[in-house]
Structure 1
Amino acid sequence: MAATVLVIDVASPSFALAVAAALLAGLVRGFSGFGAAMILIPVLAALYGPRLAVPVLLLVDIVLTVPMVVGAVRRCAWGEVLPLVAGFVVALPFGVYVLLVADPTVLTRAMAVVVLLVAAAMALGLRRRSAPGRLASVATGGVSGLLGGSIGIGGPPVILFWLSGQDPAARTRANIIAFFGVTGVVALIGFLLAGIMTADVLVLTALLMPAYALGLWAGARAFGRTADGFYRRAALAIITAIGLSTLAFA
């Protein structure tokens, strides 16, 4: 662990921006089951650097989404979730390697373009008519692991995978939350082994937790009052925003 600890002026405009981003990220995550990285990572990366932004989001999310994950575990379809988790686990080390030694700009832009194309196809009504094959599930999880380890935004492949199916909103959201719950722990272990979880990460995580927790609570309450059709439209809007913002800031 690093010998020096990050000093943050909590009265500064930059910290206020970080708190606002954490609140909004929690709200989106609580409602949709995903999307926090789109909001929080670009802001934290601009203020404190990408090597701090990615693990801070991971840690704050793991700690505060335990109640969501526990509920999702009871409602998700593990037969769909586990193959994606397997692909994620295999690919994650390669993503972490990219984070440590390479400039992932090209990968980021490619992901954004693919996300926008798939989201556009889904908005036009293209959906899966049958359950996906095991190989397709593992491959989707692998792409998620590569992107999650390298740029901290591994959700779009998995989210589009489930949104393109026929499951009701509650099952789709539960699958997404369960997947991120399991893979978040796996990613945390990978970051610990890579030496990325420093004292600076712990400091910033602790400071942003209250705002993120408030957002999670409000978002979860909003989902409880939402119809299936609105959830799918909102989720597609969020994933499209992820693609656009990623492309803009890459």
Structure 2
Amino acid sequence: MIEGFWWLFLTIGVAGIVRGFTGFGTALIFVPVAGRFLPASDVIILITLTGLASTSALLPRAWGQGNRREVALLLVAALPTVPVGIWAMGWLDDVIVRWIVAGVAGGTLLSLMTGLRYDGRIGWAGLLGIGALAGLVGGMTGLTGPVIIIAYLASRHGAQEVRANTILFLAGLDLVIFANLMFGGQVAWALVWVAALLSIPYFTTTLLGQSLFDPRHERLYRSAAYGVIALAVLTGLPIWG
């Protein structure tokens, strides 16, 4: 069994509740904790595989509520940047990656707390840029959500559409990242087994979180999102060890 397994088991369970309710947040909670025990490449593999498991609980509802054409454009843009991010992750020291994780999470929180808003719909050029940046950051850190979170929560999209599009995009991006890691020979079967074990509490608590979501409570939704990001910033700082 890997070092810190039970901490990871507990963390992924808590992250599942948040993911089910908000549509994102798993990586923001899991990656900083897992980074204390495992190298960055192993963390990305675990968060990607467990993310795929949770998708089976969230995808059916999101598929009917999301803008699939918009999400497809985001994913197309992410395809060429994911391998660049994975290459950067392998080249950088793990402590530096952890600082980048904290910086990305902190920047996400700052952007949202300052009330950044965009009036109108995001055009195709903007979607391509968002998707490309999300692929780069996701491949390098395992944080697949922050870029898309900033883009959508800063817009005038409703809570239900934000949640559904985020779920769809993160599911697709997880597949892209895992395929790149698999073809690069970076996926050990021992990690696949650990991911399978972690998927048990994750799947269960994701369903619980989904049952708590109500689009009428948009203010609560945004507050939950801010709380998730703040937690990531605090726990992800390498100064804690």
TM class by shorter-chain length?
A: 0.7 to 0.9
CA RMSD of aligned residues (A): 2.5
Q: AA paired with 1:191?
A: L
Structure 2 CA distance for partners of 1:19 and 1:114, relative to 1, 3 Å: closer
Please state how far the C-alpha of 1:192 moved relative to its aligned partner: 0.7
* Corresponding residue of 1:235: 225
The runs of 4+ residues in structure 1 deviating greater than 6 Å are none
Matched, 1:87 2:77: yes
Structure 1: state its 5+ residue gaps.
1-7
Match of 2:26 among 30, 33, 36: 36
Please state how far the C-alpha of 1:22 moved relative to its aligned partner: 1.4
Q: 1:90-126: CA deviations, max 9, x gaps? A: 2101011112233365566456446534533433433
TM-score by length of 1: 0.85
Q: AA paired with 2:76?
A: A
CA distance in 2, matches of 1:75, 1:111: 30
How do 1:134-149 and structure 2 match up within 5 A? 134-149=124-139
* Corresponding residue of 1:150: 140
Structure 2 CA distance for partners of 1:142 and 1:228, relative to 1, 3 Å: same
Tell me the number of residue pairs that the alignment of Structure 1 and Structure 2 aligns.
240
Please state how far the C-alpha of 1:218 moved relative to its aligned partner: 1.5
Please state how far the C-alpha of 1:173 moved relative to its aligned partner: 0.1
* Corresponding residue of 1:187: 177
Match of 1:75 among 43, 65, 81: 65
Match of 1:127 among 100, 108, 117: 117
Match of 2:204 among 210, 214, 218: 214
How do 1:172-183 and structure 2 match up within 5 A? 172-183=162-173
Structure 2 CA distance for partners of 1:16 and 1:235, relative to 1, 3 Å: same
Q: AA paired with 1:42?
A: P
Structure 2 CA distance for partners of 1:117 and 1:146, relative to 1, 3 Å: closer
CA distance in 1, matches of 2:143, 2:79: 15
Q: AA paired with 1:210?
A: I
Please state how far the C-alpha of 1:175 moved relative to its aligned partner: 0.5
Residues 31 and 223 in structure 1, CA contact (< 8 A), matched pair in contact too = yes
* Corresponding residue of 1:60: 50
For the pair shown, the structure with the greater C-alpha radius of gyration is 1
Structure 2 CA distance for partners of 1:135 and 1:181, relative to 1, 3 Å: same
CA distance in 1, matches of 2:45, 2:160: 28
Residues 26 and 36 in structure 1, CA contact (< 8 A), matched pair in contact too = yes
Match of 2:88 among 95, 98, 118: 98
Residues 98 and 104 in structure 1, CA contact (< 8 A), matched pair in contact too = no
Residues 143 and 154 in structure 1, CA contact (< 8 A), matched pair in contact too = no
Residues 95 and 238 in structure 2, CA contact (< 8 A), matched pair in contact too = no
Deviates more, 1:218-227 or 1:61-70: 218-227
TM-score by length of 2: 0.88
Structure 2: state its 5+ residue gaps.
none
CA distance in 2, matches of 1:90, 1:142: 8
